[in-house]
Amino acid sequence: MTDRLRIALAQMNQKVGDLAANAEAMLRMRRAAGGADLLLVPELQLTGYPPEDLVLKPEFLARTTEEAGRLVALTAEPGPALIFGSIVVRNGKAYNAMIVADEGRELFVTLKRELPNYGTFDEKRVFASGPLPEPFEYRGVKIGLPICEDIWLEDVCQHLAAKGAELLLVANGSPYELDKDHLRRTLVEARVGTTGLAMVYLNRVGGQDELAFDGSSFVVNPDGRLVTQMADWEEALLLTDWARGADGRWSCLTRERHVLDDYPADIYHAMMVALRDYVGRNGFPGVILGLSGGIDSALSAAVAVDALGPDKVWGVMMPSAYTGSVSVEDAKENARLLGCRHDVIPIVPAVEALGAMLSDVFAGTQAGLAEENIQARLRMVTLMGLSNRFGHMLLTTGNKSEMSVGYATLYGDMAGGYSVLKDAYKTTVFALSRWRNRVKPEGALGPSGPVMPERIITKPPSAELRPDQKDEDSLPPYSLLDAVLVGLVDQERSVAEVASETGADPKLVAEIEKLVLRAEYKRRQAPPGVKVGNRNFGRDRRYPITNGFRTVR
């Protein structure tokens, strides 16, 4: 029986479905972890997370089993025992599992018991639930290997402690959202408190479609103290030293403390990471977007430049008859500050041509929304033409406030391949823009200093689709609108509750609720975008399009 262990923690990125590349990345980490006894990697690191309905594909399961066997065999190379996440098939059922391998042999397998089935998670759809797990014994030390959700309920940790586990190594696939660091810490401290066992909380980094994984792995000792905090957003390998104390309890001796992002830096990093991996892994040479001289497109462009580099971002200003000279100037200066490509392609000839084409049918009717939406759709036709010709992915620039109430044009400004602002309310957009003009984020590929003219932040928002148009002609002030939307959308409050909590007129709140529900059909056709809050439009919130229910009585 040993009284000392060296445990390597690999905070890793992944690509869902790229089994060979994920396996090779784990082997590289294992080679780099020389001198360690054990190497822990994140949940489902072999398959990537979340694999979603790939798990329902027999060929995927067969190849995962094959690749897991190959990975186990390759641990015959010198190095630590590898604890890796994969899928195990037993009696025709697929299980989310952790496999322990060393010296070319499979030493232990444990199956995930608690399957999350809320928010972004739907593991009960594809996985079977395992039994209460047993500890794994390594060199006389009993180690518990709960998997992610297994620690969110008490049963698994309590059972492992009762079965003699001496420490808990938890592999996670925990997506970023606001205030998640605090939630994880509180949870782990509670489990340590009830079991009396030290716990490693290991998480992954990187982007996967709508999800950004922030890492932020940490270790809490039996006394409840946080002793090790790994960085957020970065791949890292940390070798931690452990010792059995006089009281028989294991503690981590390693002291390493990284400072995690505060608001709004954490949101900005989530956007960067998600966009970087989405664009890179889907093979796009870069992104193109409408650079309008407004704050949404300016912030979207800044995130893109910081994530991908200025050479991979292309801004196009597409003035109409209603576009002010200030917007043209601001868009040009915005591109100059970012160092990205900037072109001006007026849509006036296209608007006039379509107006002539529709003149007979439109005769005798009043101009209005149709003409406004035509402009927005012609801009997207222009951008998609450039995207098709040159390969750049079209980056959508709408924010969550607009998407909530339908203040966006279907097949117009909603079109595109991805949106970094999809889960950011307008007030968040303002906060991020002011912050980015002061601070260059860690790891950003864009410039230091301001990235957009101050006037873009201070001028009243406008779609500029009719003379002297302002957003507040159609919407309440964003400070009020966003407070109402947080209540209705993020917190699922009723009209009466939101009116009481915000001080807004109940009739206004009821009207906003109606707009939110009526816009569901638009959101179903919107591109994916990075999740930053606890209730994004997409994986978190799945409402019927045809829906007669209203909370107002």
Identity at 526, one-letter amino acid code = A
**Rounded Cα distance, 6 and 37, in Å:** 5
Q: Are 316 and 345 in contact (CB under 8 A)?
A: yes
Alpha helices for 196-311 (secondary structure H): 265-281, 295-308
Are 275 and 416 contacting, i.e. CB atoms less than 8 angstroms apart? no
Side-chain-facing half-sphere of 101: CA atoms under 13 Å:
26
| β partners of residue 214 | 205
Which residues on adjacent β-strands are paired with residue 241? 6
From the list 148, 157, 252, 340, the catalytic residue is 148
C-alpha closest to that of 231 among 255, 261, 187, 207: 261
Tokens of residue 119, six digits: 């928010």
Helix (H) or strand (E) segment spanning residue 429: helix 426-438
Q: CB count, 10 Å around CB of 54?
A: 17
Query: What is each CA distance from 78 to 27, 68, 75, 429, in whole angstroms?
Result: 11, 18, 7, 50
The active-site residue out of 112, 400, 426, 522 is 112
Give the bridge partners for 89, in sequence order. 94
Residue 121, φ and ψ in degrees, nearest 5: -100, 140
C-alpha distance from residue 155 to each of 182, 507, 551 (Å): 22, 46, 37
Question: Considering 43, 123, 149, 177, which one is annotated as catalytic?
Answer: 43
Catalytic residue flag (residue 252): no
Local structure of 449: helix, strand or coil: coil
Largest CA distance in the chain: 91
Please give the Cα distance from 441 to 341 (Å, whole number): 22
Q: How far apart are the first and last CA of the chain?
A: 68
Q: Pinpoint the alpha helices (H) of 199-324.
A: 265-281, 295-308
What is residue 541's DSSP assignment? B
Structure tokens at 317: 């200003």
Peptide bond between residue 477 and the one before it cis (omega within 30 degrees of 0): no
Q: Establish whether 440 is a catalytic residue.
A: no
Q: Which string of b and e fits 166-178 if b means at least 16 CB within 10 Å?
A: bbbbbbbbbbbbb
Which conformational region is residue 404 in: left (phi greater than 0), alpha (psi within -120 to 50 degrees), or beta?
alpha
Instruction: Specify whether 142 is catalytic.
Output: no
**493 within 8 A of 487, measured Cβ to Cβ:** yes
Amino acid at 163: K
Could you tell me how far CA 117 lies from the centroid of its own chain?
18
Active site residues: 43, 112, 148
